[in-house]
Structure 1
Amino acid sequence: MLYDIRLTIRYSYQSPAAANRTVLRMQPLSGPDQRLVSGRVAIDPEPDFRQDGEDFFGNARTEVAYDGQLSEYAFRFAGRVDRNFEPGAFDLSCPLDMLARELADTHSIVPQSPHHFLGRSSRVRHSPEIAAFARDQLEPGLPVLETVARMSRALHSEIAFDPTATDVTTSAEEAFLARRGVCQDISHIMITALREVGIPAGYVSGFLRTEPPEGEARLDGADAMHAWIRAWCGSEMGWVEMDPTNDMRVGEDHITVAMGRDYADVAPVKGSLRTAGLHATSHSVDVVPVV
């Protein structure tokens, strides 16, 4: 499936900002199940410094810097992505009680090694409440993939999607106790739950194609950035992606931008600057199938 994608993130400042240093992860990945046909990150105004490359996990990264003062700027990605991904039909995962042995037999520490996705990370910490919830979903002899699916179903039932309940700084534990949040919160909760029972899990940022109500025209800018998780289900099956916000396996409607241990590794805009007063930010996303 071919998609034309446009992403725009804007910032404006009440007082001009100076000494701006920013890292962008806005360009979709290219890999076995997805290919970036064309596209580039554009920045307005042009920065004083720019460097394009990849981070440790293989995500496209653009580093920019401004030496002068700015009252507003915008980061844009526009391009075409070929997404060709179908979830496997068979569960080849090992039983959960065998996963620790398979992990011990995995000696690689390449970026996609499951060992990077087991312990604490910036946004995923130990939580007794989430750990208890995760243990309640376990069943002796259950395969890892079915355990992951069971976690997704339970969270989809327990956590109400509420964009007013949390913000980007809300912890997984806070969102879990409130039983409310957005895709970022639900993904962090599920990653925490999986790691608590010994299943390596990571965070994926990207886009989800949305369909308008029947009989209505598709709205420009109606899409939004989305988040889901990936779980390591043993050496034979490897990584499997799950969207717990919608309780579904990830498929060709999900377009991947970046992967990491949690949101801190994949944030589309991350950096520092010097300013005072209020600021405003906005973003718009369009994901349009090419027919």
Structure 2
Amino acid sequence: MIYDIRLTIAYDYAGAASSGRHLVCVMPRDLGPEQRLVAGLLRLHPLPGQRHDRTDFFGNATVDFAIDGSHNAVEVAVTARVERHAAGDMSAGALSLDRLAAALSDCRDMGPDSPVHYIATSSRVPHDPAMIRFARSQISPGMDAAQAVVAVGRALCAAMTFDAKATTVDTPASEAFAKRHGVCQDYSHILIACLRGIGIPAGYVSGYLRTRPPKGKPRLEGADAMHAWVRAWCGPQAGWLAFDPTNDRIADASHIVVAYGRDYDDVPPIRGILRVTGGQRSRQSVDVIPLDEGA
């Protein structure tokens, strides 16, 4: 499937900012046969005095830019074309949980895709006994790691209620789990904590999700949103299995990857610092457009 993606993130300030520095991570990744970035352009307004395009440790495309003069707003706009294919059967070769622990112990790879980076607690992923108990309650004897990921993810989806008003970007995962309400970021952090708690390395994926309008209704421009899901390491042969706990499904060709990280703090779409007084208002619009609308 080939998609055209359009993203706009904008901030309007109540008072003029005298300067600002920002880091953005919004360009889809080029992942070889599974996902190919055909073309991509990131535009910034106002035009920054400094701009540095680079790749971070995890292989994500980031842009660091600084605006030195007075400005009342910042806008980041992305246009990209992506060719996306569903991954093959990632459950083949998945290890049992006890064998997974041994394989992880034997791992000497410290590269960006190594599972050793994804097993300990991180800034957004706590060691939470309640989450670990929840995860263990879904595990049956004889399950391999891939089966465990799906079982815990599906149980979490059934236990949670999607509620955009229940949490904010800063709500701790433990609080969202206790409420059983949240959004994709919360679902993902909770599932990561559950999986790490039972010995499965797991990380955070940010990206775009193709959404389909109700039957007979036109697709609404700007109605899509950035999304988050999880990937979990199931052994040296199986590699990484991506699961979307918000939608109870293995990630497929509808999921367009932007970034991999240990949690949200590694891959926020935008972060920065400003010299400004007063509040600010943010706007975001995302379109994920399949070139074949009938697909």
Q: Could you tell me whether the CA contact under 8 Å between 1:87 and 1:249 is conserved in 2?
A: no
**SS class of match (1:79):** strand
Q: What's the counterpart of residue 274 of structure 1?
A: 275
**SS class of match (1:71):** strand
Q: Distance in 1 between matches of 2:160 and 2:130?
A: 14
Segments of structure 2 that go 5 or more residues without pairing to the other structure are none
Equivalences, count: 291
- What per-residue deviation string (whole Å, max 9, x for no partner) do you get for residues 49-71 of structure 1? 00101000000010000112211
**SS class of match (2:191):** helix
Q: Distance in 1 between matches of 2:90 and 2:77?
A: 37
**SS class of match (2:100):** helix
1:136-215 equivalence runs, <5 A: 136-215=137-216
Q: Distance in 2 between matches of 1:137 and 1:72?
A: 48
Output the amino acid matched with 2:183: V
Q: What's the counterpart of residue 248 of structure 2?
A: 247
Output the amino acid matched with 1:79: A
Output the amino acid matched with 2:28: P
Identity %, equivalent residues: 48
1:59-74 equivalence runs, <5 A: 59-74=60-75
The structure-2 alpha-carbon separation of the partners of 1:97 and 1:12, relative to structure 1 and needing over 3 Å to count, comes to same
Q: Could you tell me whether the CA contact under 8 Å between 2:49 and 2:67 is conserved in 1?
A: yes
1:34-45 equivalence runs, <5 A: 34-45=35-46
**SS class of match (1:123):** coil
1:1-291 equivalence runs, <5 A: 1-32=1-32, 33-88=34-89, 90-291=91-292
- What per-residue deviation string (whole Å, max 9, x for no partner) do you get for residues 232-285 of structure 1? 001110111000000100110100011100001110101111222111001000
Q: Identify which range, 81-90 or 193-202, moves more after superposition.
A: 81-90
State the Cα distance separating 1:90 from its structure 2 match.
4.9
Output the amino acid matched with 1:61: T
Cα RMSD between the aligned structures?
Answer: 1.1
Segments of structure 1 that go 5 or more residues without pairing to the other structure are none
Output the amino acid matched with 2:195: L
State the Cα distance separating 1:126 from its structure 2 match.
1.1
Q: Could you tell me whether the CA contact under 8 Å between 1:87 and 1:250 is conserved in 2?
A: no
Output the amino acid matched with 1:273: L
Q: Distance in 2 between matches of 1:16 and 1:245?
A: 38
Q: Distance in 1 between matches of 2:123 and 2:70?
A: 31
TM-score by length of 1: 0.98
- What per-residue deviation string (whole Å, max 9, x for no partner) do you get for residues 133-179 of structure 1? 12212223210000000111110110000011111001110100000
State the Cα distance separating 1:129 from its structure 2 match.
1.5
TM-score by length of 2: 0.96
